[in-house]
Amino acid sequence: MENVLKYFEFSDFFEDTSGTFSGNSISYSVLNEEHFLVFQKTQENKEIYTLFVAKYTAEKDIGKQQPLILELLVEQYDESNPEHRILLRKYKAY
């Protein structure tokens, strides 16, 4: 998973304090100035990742404020699953 995060330029994981991601750790990648891909890593199992696309007013709000829009893209992201990788590439291409 580390390679996926580096390749798609995700931030380091940090604790969500907005309540949106239940206090779990999150990492994000910029799509444009208002839209971001967000990986959530659960506290219970650090190997389970959930991928979202979110809209925030500003990048500095991620993990601190609730997003304006939040859409679940993939539950239990699996880097070996071609469909998951293709979805991630499509979002980063725009």
Q: How many domains would you assign to the chain? A: 1
Q: Give me the pLDDT at residue 94, please.
A: 64
Q: Single out the residue of 64, 15, 59 nearest to residue 37, CA to CA.
A: 59
Please write the tens of the pLDDT for every residue from 24-82. Answer: 999 999 999 999 999 999 877 778 999 999 999 999 999 999 999 999 999 999 999 99
Q: Single out the residue of 63, 88, 59 nearest to residue 73, CA to CA.
A: 88
Q: Give me the pLDDT at residue 93, please.
A: 83
Domain boundaries, position 29: 2-93
Q: Give me the pLDDT at residue 38, please.
A: 98
Q: Give me the pLDDT at residue 47, please.
A: 84
Q: Rounded to an integer, what distance in angstroms lies between the CA atom of residue 67 and that of residue 7?
A: 24
* pTM, two decimal places: 0.93
